[in-house]
Amino acid sequence: MISEISLHKISIPLVEPFITSLGRDDDALNVVVCIKTDSGMVGFGECSPYMPINGESQDTAYLVGQYLAKVLLGKDPLNIKSIHQEMDALIYGNKSIKSAFDIACYDIAAQEAGMPLYQFLGGNKTKTITTDYTVSIGDPDKMAADAVKILAQGFPFIKVKLGKDGRTDVIRMQKIRAAVGPGVPLRIDANQGWSVEEAIETLQALAPLNIEHCEEPIARWNYMALPRIRKASPIPLMADECLGDENDAARLIAIDACQYMNIKLGKSGGIFSAQKIIRLAEEAGVKLQVGAMIESRLAMTAFAHFALSSEQIVHFDFDTALMLREDPVEGGIRYRPNGVIEVPDSPGLGAKISTERLQKSESCRFIT
């Protein structure tokens, strides 16, 4: 049973500002959840709440996490379905902080089973996880120069943030394609920045540039227009912000909105709901990406374990932990050359925040 829960604010400056059509981030403002059981097990989870996407901030996640902690003390962390029922009965939404509790419970459950998390989730290591690396939106020439740097670092896939004026976005991509050459796979993410007509015009104009896919071209609330864009677009579409939990996935599949869906545990509320999305995607033949906000290697390790749980997951967007000026994580995934990610085989998550870093953080603790 859960005997202790602590919450910690972890704030880490970025090496460079991370800029999308939704705004600019200079720091990762995350919350870490540590759950201890009466049998001595310890599980870690982390979230990176982002106000424009999931309506949460570090402060709100930290506060709501305290309500959740009080409810979950004394509960069985292995009964993850019940854990989610308790959290959802207490408060609607707040998927980001709920995902941190979810990850911590899965960490404990996999340790209890003596398995690495990916194996506990039914996965294996038959595929290689290779992350892309992202170019922030800005001046077209700077974006092209940044893409060249990413290529020089060995990353085989380049993701580009767009969504600030479709015509300028075309110029941005033309300059990037000219700078990196014709063979480098390019992926784009408009982060809801275009109107419907602008999306169609922009995607058609980008057709000669050999773009792999486009994430969230229009406002999330306007997802019913995605089938129209999909029909007109030479570039496959990937749902992101409009895909939260399995209910969103079912709606998108029902209207044939996109060829891909991007799962983020901070949007789904954790692994429990994300597994339901996988099952729906497998039935519908929709391919998946697992993505991230601005988490450290702690949550990124959970994402990588999860990404090994289904062959339906074919794309991996795990670069943001590399953008942090500090790495507070012990164990966890390792970034190898050419974007390859090595997932640990120790029981559970195989990652934790260092005790020294936790002691420096603003924190609160609840015990039975």
Length of the chain: 368
Active-site pick, 107, 169, 189, 317: 189
Rounded to 10 deg, the angle between the 246-254 and 271-284 helix axes is 20
Write out the two tokens for 367.
């015990």
CA distance 357 to 310: 33
What is the distance between the alpha carbons of residues 249 and 123, in angstroms, rounded to a whole number?
Answer: 21
Which candidate in 161, 175, 267, 352 is catalytic?
161
For this structure, is 215 an active site residue? yes
Catalytic residue among 46, 107, 240, 245: 240
Closest CA to 318 of 328, 327, 307, 329: 307
**If you write DSSP's letter for every residue of 315-338 in order, what string do you get?**
EE---GGGGBS---EEES-EEPGG
Any catalytic annotation for residue 246?
A: no
Q: Give yes or no: 81 in active site.
A: no
Are the C-beta atoms of 137 and 164 separated by less than 8 Å?
Answer: yes
In the structure encoding, which two tokens stand for residue 58, read together? 């570090």
b/e per residue, 82-91, with b = 16+ CB within 10 A? ebbeebeeee
Cα–Cα nearest to 46, from 9, 79, 85: 9
Catalytic residue among 46, 56, 198, 215: 215
Please give the structure tokens belonging to residue 110: 């996999």
**In the chain, what's the furthest Cα-to-Cα distance?**
62
State the Cα–Cα distance between residues 20 and 137, nearest whole angstrom. Answer: 6
342 catalytically annotated: no
Residue 189 annotated in active site: yes
Active-site residues, by number, are: 161, 189, 215, 240, 264
